[in-house]
Amino acid sequence: MKKEPLSNMISLKNFSFTYPDAKNESIKNINLEIQRGETILITGSTGCGKSTLLKSICGFTPRETGGSSEGEISILEKKISKYSFEKISQTIGFLFQDCENQLICSNVREELAFGPRNLRLKKNEILNRIDFALEITKSKKLEFKNCSSLSGGEKQKIALASILSMKPEILLLDEPTSQLDYEGVKNFIKSITEIKTTYNPTTIFAEHRNNRIMPITNRLIIMDKGSIVGDYRKKEFSDAYEILNQLKLEIPAWIEITKKINLHNIRNEEDFLQQSKHLKNKQDLAQQKTERKNQKRKKILSVKNICYSYEKNKPDIFSDISFDLFEGEILAIMGSNGTGKTTLLNLLSGIIQPKKGEIIWFEEKKSSLLSLVGKIGYLFQNPDLMLSLDTVKKEIEFGPKNLKFKKSKTNELVQESLDFFKLSTLQYKNPFSISRGERLRLAIASLYSCENQVLILDEPTGGMNRGIRTIIMDQLKKWVQKKNNNSSIILCTHDTESALKYADKTMILENGRIVMQGNSDTVISRAYLDKRYIEPPPHAYVSKSSGYETIPRSLEIFIRGLQKS
């Protein structure tokens, strides 16, 4: 007789966890029942306990991290503490937020074979699992590449593929789209849909990008300060508006517009899209930023016809890249994973040199890496590579001290940076005891304290909730304005919403060339119409259907227009 599957796949009863030496619980009194095959989105502010909850479900905390826990967690009605790590690895697949540390083999095929080999599967089955994982994650073109040569987004895809090659019953995915480009996000959503159709694992996302994930989930859980503060089934998603808004979390555009202009009889996104065809927006777009004239502002950077290749006799990654940056400008660089955005930033910062062409900073023909210290600050895509000291405060002090600033000035800059990036309450903590989003803010703060004239930022909003993204981008914009418009920012990002709202100009790279550059709203609107290169901002579709030729700089501007129509 066939055994009926257990209804509860995961059960948490009064579960709390405290990290070693921490004063407060990271997650507290969690009661949660998750049924087999459910697809759940857990969202909440940076540092609210989402990652810790996932790590607890798979037994990683407190076994590997130390610390203390109360209550119990059960998987298939068996306490997680009774599982061996071997059995956990067969049952649960965990995609870590920092997926780079998850890749342990030299090349992609070896990485995908590692798990199935340790399950002692037969050779033919291992090969089938590799093909399955490559196909379902759309990663076939990466099959024979070295893992170290992959871009951040490509590493994220391969880390997911390595988990799927083991076909776990439970998938725990921590910020799985944080480094993916538009095509990557679309393929990821397709992959999850196919996986659910193929063998339907219980799937739990911890994500800030609710717009991306909510359409494929049937349950939304909201966390705040270590506790679950909201739990909604799919038909109730619009009821989550108040709490999402209160916590400054990302709200799907259809829910936000529905609530703010009082549309009625809207039960889901399909209802909204049907009604949105009748919305008209006549507001004057004078509120939109216009491209400022450059002739009265000083040129900070001139890039002229640069080409670059990592190896001799290999095709160039770039071909004839040219652009300028002026004082007071924020420039967003966008494009697909692996198109060379980070390599371009490395060239601009002086870490590597172009094969051909010129990069001229501050009108100096030959700028050495040393000559740019104290003038240009560079945020790496992985902020952990920039952190080495034992407290948050010491990290922020490090730059000013080594630049030989006076003690009084150093103290002033450190306090300003702590306040500016909302890190004052964390200043005596070890950087690696705080969340990844908080470490990213710390890395930016450590550049801010050095009084650089230009900041080069690689994915500065990755893995952050809407509220923190807004705080950081608002503060960076204020920093540019505060410096009397003689400083500038170059940011590499997949965050179209932030690029549209904050960047004066946007440049899109594809296949080693600049395919579009100019005023941000114009470029992003063109890219949306082309349906390529970048992820559309949340309000793109409804803006176009309401009569806008150019997408408004923000959803707020769009909604104000609807309210006045």
| Residue 264: per-residue pLDDT | 77
Least confident of 215-229, 417-431, 466-480: 466-480
Q: HEC profile for 40-55?
A: EEEEECCCCCHHHHHH
CA distances from 546 to 309, 536, 537 (A): 45, 16, 15
Q: Tell me the backbone φ, ψ of residue 472, rounded to 5 degrees.
A: -65, -45
Q: Are 51 and 57 in contact (CB under 8 A)?
A: no
Residue 321's pLDDT is what? Answer: 93
> Pairing relation of β-strands 299-308 and 318-326?
antiparallel
- pLDDT at 267 (0 to 100): 76
What's residue 31's pLDDT?
Answer: 97
CA distances from 431 to 20, 414, 434 (A): 14, 15, 6
% of residues, the chain, pLDDT over 90: 54
Express each pLDDT in 492-523 by its tens digit. 999 999 999 999 999 999 888 899 999 999 99
The reported pLDDT for the residue numbered 151 is: 82
Tokens representing residue 339 in the block: 């198109």
Residue 8, beta-bridge partner list:
35
Length, in residues, of the chain: 565
pLDDT, tens digit, for every residue of 339-350? 889 899 999 998
Give DSSP secondary structure letters for 153-167: HHHHHHHHHHHHTT-
Distances (CA, A) of 127 to 64, 113, 122: 32, 8, 9
| Residue 400, pLDDT score | 95
Beta strand 78-79 with 27-35: parallel, antiparallel or unpaired? unpaired
| Side-chain half-sphere exposure of 57, counting CA atoms within 13 A | 31
For residue 318, what are its two tokens?
């770039």
How high is the pLDDT of residue 559?
83
Res 310: pLDDT: 81
For the chain, helix, strand, coil in percent to 5 are 40, 20, 35
231: pLDDT strictly greater than 50: yes
Q: What is the mean pLDDT of the chain?
A: 88
Distances from the Cα of 104 to the Cα of 100, 101, 148, 158, 310, angstroms: 9, 7, 10, 11, 23
Note the pLDDT of residue 536: 87
Q: How confident is the model at residue 485 (pLDDT cuts 50, 70, 90)?
A: low
Residue 232: phi, psi to the nearest 5? -130, 135
What is the pLDDT, as a whole number, of residue 540?
Answer: 85
Asked if 118 and 110 count as a contact pair (C-beta separation under 8 A), the reply is: no
The number of CA neighbours under 13 Å toward the Cβ of 120 is 1
The pTM for the full model equals 0.81
Burial degree of 14 (CB within 10 A; 0-12, 13-18, 19+):
exposed
pLDDT at 481 over 70: yes
Contact residues for 419 (Cβ-Cβ < 8 A; gap 6+):
none
Q: Residue 427's beta-bridge partner residues? A: none
The predicted structure's pLDDT at residue 182? 83
How confident is the model at residue 262, as a pLDDT? Answer: 81
Q: Which residue has the higher pLDDT, 437 or 565?
A: 437
- Residue 321 buriedness (CB in 10 A; 0-12 / 13-18 / 19+): buried
Integer Cα distance of 186 and 412 in angstroms:
45
CB 546 within 8 A of CB 275: no
Residue 1: predicted pLDDT = 38
pLDDT of amino acid 436:
77
Cα four-point dihedral sign 161, 162, 163, 168: positive
pLDDT digits (tens, 9 = 90+) for 238-293: 999 999 999 999 998 889 888 888 877 777 777 787 777 667 665 544 444 444 45
End-to-end CA distance of the chain: 65
- Beta bridge pairs of residue 506: 332, 518
pLDDT at residue 22 is higher than 60: yes
